[in-house]
Structure 1
Amino acid sequence: MHIAEGFLSPMQCAAWYAVSAPFVIHGARAVIAQSRRSPENRMLLAAAGAFTFVLSAIKLPSVSGSSSHPTGTGLGAVLFRPPVMAFLGTVVLLFQALLLAHGGITTLGANVFSMAVVGPWVGYSAFLLTRQLGASPAVAVFMAMFFADMATYCTTSLQLALAYPDPSSGIAGALGKFLGVFAITQVPLAVMEGLLGVVIFGFLGRVAPQDLARLGIRTTTSKELQHA
C-alpha cells in the first residue's frame, strides 16, 4: 500500500498533501480533545497507534510480485472515531517512512489519504451500518477491519491509476490492473485482520469494559464481544 518515493510526480504529491492536510489537522485537534476529556484513555489511544504501526509494517510478498500488509486502522476508528486515526495514522506513516523506508516523505500525503483517512472512515461506516442492521458486535468489528483494509488498497490503486493511466484504456484500465495486483493477496489478509479485530475487542470487553463505555461503546456491546 505504501507508495514509495519517486512513484508520484511533484504535482501529484503536492495535491495529495493538500487533500490530506485538513483531515490531519482536524485529527490532531480530536486527539488533544480526547486526551483532555478522558486522560485515563491515553494508554488505549497509544495502543491503537502502536497496533496500526505494527500491523502496517508487516510486509508480506504478494503472488502478483508486489507486497501487501494489514493496516490496523479499523480498530482505532471504532474505538476513537476516524478523525483521531487521521492523525495517528499520519504519525505511523511518518515514522515508517523515516525508520523503515516504508513509503516516503514526498508520497506521505497520498499514503495518509488512503490509509489514515479513507480506510478509517469506510471501516467505521461499515461498523455503524452493520450494527444498525442488527448484526452482532463481533460481525460489526470484523466488517470494520475488513473494509478499512480493502478501502485502503482500493484507494491506493486509484492513486496509482491516476499517476500511470493505461495508454489504451486510460485510468479505468490502469485501475483494473492495479486492483488485480493487490486483490489476490489482500482479500485473505483483510479477512485475517477482521478476525484479529474480533479477538482484540473480545479481550478488551473482558479486561476494560469501563474504558469502552467511556469511549461510547455500550457495556452491553463489550459483554457480547466477550462471548463472540
Structure 2
Amino acid sequence: MHIAEGFLPVGHAVGWTVVAAPFVVHGARAVVKEVRENPESTLLLGAAGAFTFVLSAIKLPSVTGSSSHPTGTGPGAILFRPPVMALLGTVVLLFQALLLAHGGLTTLGANAFAFAVVGPWVGYGACRLVRALGAGLLPAVFAGVALADLATYVTTSFQLALAFPDAESGLAGALLKFLGVFAVTQIPLAVGEGLLGILLFRALTANARPELERLGVLRPAPLAPDGGPA
C-alpha cells in the first residue's frame, strides 16, 4: 500500500498523480461542504482521519522483504462517503511519507489512488450492497471495512505489476506474484480490520447514535406511543 519513494518509474508516478488528483480535489470540496453545513461533524471527521493514520501506520512484515498494513479507510467511507476519504486519506499518506518514511512524495499519487480512492469506494459499495440484501449494520460494516483493505492491496499489486511486468508472463504473471506476496498477511489483516470495524461501530451506535442517524448510517429509532424513544 505504501509504495516507496522513487520506486515507480517517473511516467507511472506522474500518471497516477494525474488520475488521483480529481478525486482529491472533489474530496476537499466535500469536506468543506460537510464542515460548513454540519459543524458538529468536525470532531468525528478528525476522529476518522486519526483512526486512518494510526491504523495504517502499523507496519507488519510480509514475505520477500515487503510489509503489510491495515488501512483504516473503511469506517470513514461508511460514515462520510468515499469523497471525504479521498482527501483525508491523502493527507494521512502525506504525513506518513514526511514523518514516518512510509511511502513517498513521488509515489503519493499512486498510493492515494489505491488507499484513498479505490479502497473507500469498494468498502462503501460493499457496505451498501450488504445492507441492501437485508443484513444489519454490523455485518455490512465488516464487509465494507475488510474489502476496503483488500481492494487497496489489489490496486497496489496492479500498479506494481504495470510498472514491473514479468519478463516471461507479462502483466498477468507479475500481478499474480504481487498478489501472492501480499495475500499471506493481508487477508488475515483484512479480517481483523473488519472485526475492529464492528467494535468501532458498536461503540458509535451506543455513544453517537444521533450523529449516525444524521449521516444516514442508522435509521432513526422508532418512537413509542408517548412520543419518546421506543
Fold match by TM threshold 0.5 = yes
Q: What letter corresponds to residue 162 of structure 2 in structure 1?
A: L
Alignment of 1:1-228 (within 5 A): 1-219=1-219
Q: What letter corresponds to residue 71 of structure 1 in structure 2?
A: T
**Larger radius of gyration, structure 1 or 2?**
2
| Contact 1:64–1:182 under 8 Å retained in 2 | no
Deviations 1:99-118 (A, max 9, x none): 00000000000000000000
How much has 1:65 moved relative to structure 2? 3.2
How much has 1:64 moved relative to structure 2? 4.6
Distance 1:184 1:122 in 2: 21
SS state at 2:179 partner: helix
Distance 1:216 1:33 in 2: 16
4+ residue segments displaced more than 4 Å = none
How much has 1:220 moved relative to structure 2? 5.3
Q: CA RMSD in A?
A: 1.0
Distance 2:220 2:190 in 1: 27
How much has 1:7 moved relative to structure 2? 1.1
Distance 1:72 1:218 in 2: 20
Other-structure match for 2:228: none
How much has 1:136 moved relative to structure 2? 1.6
Distance 2:82 2:64 in 1: 31
Distance 1:220 1:169 in 2: 54
Q: What letter corresponds to residue 109 of structure 1 in structure 2?
A: G
Identity percentage of aligned residues: 68
How much has 1:218 moved relative to structure 2? 2.3
Q: Which runs of 5+ in 1 are unaligned?
A: 222-228
Distance 2:64 2:192 in 1: 19
How much has 1:25 moved relative to structure 2? 0.2
| Contact 1:209–1:219 under 8 Å retained in 2 | no
| Contact 2:85–2:116 under 8 Å retained in 1 | yes
Distance 1:33 1:220 in 2: 23
* TM-score, length basis structure 2: 0.94
Other-structure match for 2:227: none
Deviations 1:27-62 (A, max 9, x none): 000000000111001000000000000000000111
Q: Which runs of 5+ in 2 are unaligned?
A: 222-230
Equivalences, count: 221
SS state at 1:23 partner: helix
| Contact 1:86–1:117 under 8 Å retained in 2 | yes
How much has 1:177 moved relative to structure 2? 0.3
Distance 1:193 1:10 in 2: 33
Distance 2:200 2:64 in 1: 30
| Contact 2:127–2:143 under 8 Å retained in 1 | yes
Q: What letter corresponds to residue 187 of structure 1 in structure 2?
A: I
* TM-score, length basis structure 1: 0.95
Other-structure match for 1:224: none
| Contact 1:57–1:69 under 8 Å retained in 2 | yes
